[in-house]
Structure 1
């Protein structure tokens, strides 16, 4: 007994010692040191928002000491809470003070099983933005997405071949088998590593092969197929843009970073953006921009701030008695994905056991080696076509992410208490997994509108999910593909069983009938945090575009937008990777303009 206690004590002491070293080595407390105490009256560039795009831009534009840059971030620095660097804690931070707590409006016949019948639309409010609180999935989208940008939306210069060098520039691939790939980069700021592999991932990928799909690098030549998830994680630490682009290079004299700085309006005189108003420590301030004001506040805050500054749909601006500066379709297209979580029981211990995942040894493994359950959330992923004849010819329709455990927390989904009691609580300790089934390209798009002229009021966010019946049909097709997957020999061998989804609120329909699944979609499907296109780019003069191909706000000088809002359409995956690539490309464009 004494020997056991002594051994345990030695392990704990060693773990604590290593933890101090690990934290110093991989989680530098540089948040405070890069934040500026004083702000000048004027800068060459004023960037609004230090998120996935804004952090990239601030870092790249300040590489030349001859140009001054101010980054205004409404939230805290990324070291406000050191646990933000732990990938598995994403749900904890989605509902913290490091997030914008946005949600949709109540929509007819949708979100019936969610609290207040609304879906959550939270976003990062911290240096690094949503890259600091997301699930760390690194997914660029399909090459066909960017072909569509170039051909359908006529965004010349923004095609796949244009953006691939910037995906690679941002990336530091950590996966040995991909280090020599022509599709991946090394030495960039953002680490990309392979997710934690549970035995379940092999069964998932083998099931995909039985369905006729290949195991693939979904960020390579072809996205379609099954794969382990690639994560923005370095040695177990979240590789956010705040940490990697701002923290690691350290303080620069020509880059001032001001946190807790809430921008309320862009000043525009005679169609020229001259500066911005912001509130910090309860005091309203103004700062001038000599070259450009760059709006990188995200898919919701960027359109909100443009409209508060008089740029937006004429009728909406005038209805709020705001002075109209420029009539543009701001917030007219809110593109996103819709998701449904389907739980599955199994009878083999190949999943991620919650007790082990949350236990002492998991903590020791993470602290000592940066590996284990705390280092990643998702396990494997599939990108699928509803019509298999379109494989290799078009982008995929459905994404299926495998989470190798059953959930004990419904906060991501916003389920109401009765749904949570029925679908979550009874299965907390049940061996199993969850499949997140996402419709990647819904036909229905939403809108973003001002709720009032108060900049502290959240905008009105209408997703308009499933207003197009084909979207419901396509999400149903995604569920049917998952049913096909759990019927494979690979999944049968571990006793895969989806009967735990037989919810009482849809029991008036036969379980697994079309009507049953449609009922489930209407109750528990939710938005998937991949919002784009609210300030979409297009050719100069395009009446559907807010910014031109140089990301200039049409009709306004010295005002640019660069974040998820400028994407012409949502990509076939998570949106963090394409936003970083767009920001890298835009930074190069601005550097060329200087000369």
Structure 2
């Protein structure tokens, strides 16, 4: 889930008060120490210094792994992050969309393929990724999702049973502190959840009016309402649980890394790793730039890369690990010929927009400053929580509890949207944004994403050159397998039938027609497919570029090399049916146990 145009009350970029409110919030929060967070201090390091482990990337996976390894006092751990500490907006749930397209974002985009996403500005998909401690876990929507048993059983078919559902479930539960009352008070559901983990998984105490109406509408459309959207045995429509604690974002950074008090963890921020040093087929350290100076750091035991789907692939290839032909093409000596960068894929999202008479959205312009004051006073109110919801459609009648498409409606009040927010946040062309913003002058807008959860299409990440400062080249591959289009017409028609439900019909809800001219003369099903291809974008859950079974063995070790592992979303050989943050935490937890096993320190989970 990625689009939340209506989710941020008074946040930057979402309305005319955005910049003023954000600046005021920063000022008051700083003066009151309301949002203080004990981020790790910058390590005092010497060139050529040595550690047991070097972890490259302080995002979701890196923060979790560093915290777990630091629990063993005999290990000296260096965590290297290209960004710095998050700003105060990174803590506030209601500001979850503000940091995208900022200096705290790598601001990646895909390459125009001349086929898909042609209705988007520049004909490319935005790929926001966090560039700071916490990584994308500091800019995401905080949705707690795991995927489904079939997802991990697919992994097991590729690389072995250590990755099947039975064996990954305890690692989800290990980090989880479940407080969502809909789940925590249900004995059967709690058999699948943890109570003693570091990261709080909570439910909103306040229910947005829009969420209530969406759930009623989906129930009227025939979907079952479920209490636990991670339930592996039942799908339908329901509220998500979120990683939020006491009105603040909770993550592997805030709940784990920031809590490390031992002296054996060393965190380097604003430090850009440019190469993994490899000698005799063994990773021995990294080359990095800090304060415009070149440093070398050495690992006595292992280097672990947790830089994310795009930057992990980039760093491996810069280090000579990747497809032989491509490395030679850009002038890099080949260390190990592996399919790094290949197998890139993502959930495919197509946004539709509905316009409705006022009354569905929970907040409007007049309530924004009041909500900011409430948050500054005691971290409550609309900025302190998320009440997002979703609805899942099954893959087939034979698999009624295995989702294939998802819908994530939200609500934007009258007059909230701007051309800049639309072109920036969504990435649509100004022409398309004008139609949405014009409707928003007098109507509430309901963004209605329809998302394919299990695409067969594959893209690739390549190096632009051997220069580490060049962004990776991201070829999405969206709809390169035409089978991905097959289910879209039915899913889209189902989603748009929301306008015919009792409540939304009373609100005069109508579809904003953004259909490209070249699609309008086609038969209905082909017209929908044509529209889908034009408006397809990423759901920001890209995975697979250093996949288990292809680049890595079952214990996340790079094949053919020693002392080098990967532990982030790039390791997923197939994307899970849901948001990828919690699965990355699970991967990091398993990586920690693999490493501890390797050095005779035992497995945390029997």
The residue that corresponds to 1:3 in the other structure is none
- The equivalent of 1:148 in structure 2 is 154
Q: 1:116-131, aligned counterparts within 5 Å?
A: 116-131=122-137
Paired residues for 1:331-350 under 5 Å: 331-347=341-357, 349-350=359-360
1:529 and 2:540 equivalent?
Answer: yes
Count of residues paired in the alignment? 562
Mapped pair 1:51 → 2:59: yes
Are 1:372 and 2:372 an aligned pair? no
Partner of 1:6: none
Aligned to 2:327: 317
Q: Residue 42 of structure 1 corresponds to which residue in structure 2?
A: 50
* 1:74 equivalent in structure 2: 82
Q: What's the offset of the Cα at 1:74?
A: 0.3
Q: Which residue of 2 aligns with 1:213?
A: 223
What CA distance in whole angstroms lies between the structure 2 residues aligned with 1:114 and 1:432? 19
Task: Give the match for residue 469 of structure 1.
Answer: 482
SS of 1:573 mapped into structure 2:
coil
Instruction: Please state how far the C-alpha of 1:171 moved relative to its aligned partner.
Output: 1.4
CA positional deviation for 1:386: 4.9
For 1:389 and 1:356, locate their aligned partners in 2 and report how far apart those are by CA, in whole Å. Answer: 49
**8 A contact 1:224–1:383 mirrored in 2:** yes
Equivalent residue in structure 2 for 1:241, among 246, 249, 252: 252
* 1:429, distance to aligned residue in structure 2 (A): 5.5
User: Aligned pair in 2 of structure 1 residues 185, 367: CA closer, same or farther (>3 Å)?
Assistant: farther
Contact 1:155/1:537 (8 A) holds in 2: no
Question: Aligned-pair distance for 1:147?
Answer: 1.7
What is the alpha-carbon distance in structure 1 between the residues aligned to residue 466 and residue 519 of structure 2?
Answer: 46
C-alpha distance in structure 2 between counterparts of 1:143 and 1:363, whole Å: 41
Shift of 1:436: 1.7
CA 1:211–1:460 in structure 2 vs 1: closer, same or farther (change >3 Å)?
Answer: same
State the secondary structure of the residue aligned to 2:446: strand
In structure 1, the gaps of 5 or more residues are 1-14, 539-544
Give the structure 1 partner of residue 440 of structure 2.
Answer: 427
Query: Are 1:566 and 2:551 an aligned pair?
Result: no
Give the direction of change, closer, same or farther, for the CA distance of 1:429–1:535 in structure 2 (3 Å limit). farther
Provide Cα deviations, 1:210-265, integer angstroms capped at 9, x if missing partner: 33322121112335211112211112211122222111x14431000000110000
Shift of residue 417, structure 1, vs aligned partner: 1.4
Does structure 1 retain, via aligned residues, the 8 Å contact 2:229–2:239?
no
SS of residue in 2 equivalent to 1:518: helix
TM score, norm. by length of structure 1: 0.89
Contact (CA 8 Å) 1:334, 1:447: kept in 2 or not?
yes
Deviates more, 1:467-476 or 1:313-322: 467-476
Residue in structure 2 matched with residue 417 of structure 1 by the alignment: 430
Question: Where does residue 133 of structure 1 map in the other structure?
Answer: 139
Q: Could you tell me how far apart the structure 2 residues matched to 1:518 and 1:52 are?
A: 35
Partner residue of 2:501?
488
The equivalent residue for 2:281 is 271
Matched, 1:168 2:188: no
Correspondence 1:70-109 to 2 at 5 A: 70-78=78-86, 81-109=87-115
Contact 1:235 1:369 in 2 (8 A): no
Alignment partners' CA distance in 2, 1:355 and 1:293: 50
Shift of 1:518: 3.0
Displacement after TM superposition at 1:270 (Å): 1.0
Q: 1:35 to 1:371 in 2, by over 3 A?
A: same
CA contact (8 A) 2:519 2:530 kept: no
CA separation of 1:432/1:321 partners in 2, compared to 1, >3 Å: closer, same or farther? closer
Within 5 Å, which residues of 2 pair with 1:285-304?
285-304=295-314
Q: 1:356 to 1:536 in 2, by over 3 A?
A: farther
SS of 1:157 mapped into structure 2: helix
Structure 1 counterpart SS, 2:127: coil
Q: How far apart, in 2, do the equivalents of 1:189 and 1:119 lie?
A: 34
Alignment of 1:110-121 (within 5 A): 110-121=116-127
Match of 2:597 among 585, 592, 595: 592
Q: Distance in 2 between matches of 1:348 and 1:419?
A: 22
CA distance in structure 2 between the aligned counterparts of 1:507 and 1:310, rounded to whole angstroms: 45
Cα 1:21–1:534 change in 2 (3 A) is closer
Mapping 1:197-212, distance limit 5 Å: 197-212=207-222
Distance 1:486 1:73, change over 3 A: same
Residue aligned with 1:131, SS: helix
Could you say which residue in structure 1 is the equivalent of 2:472? Answer: 459
Which residue in 1 is equivalent to 2:399?
390
1:464-496 per-position Cα deviation (integer Å, ceiling 9, x unaligned): 101222222323332112023332335434443
Aligned-residue offset at 1:139: 1.1
Please report how far the alpha carbon of residue 452 of structure 1 lies from its aligned counterpart in structure 2 after TM superposition: 0.3
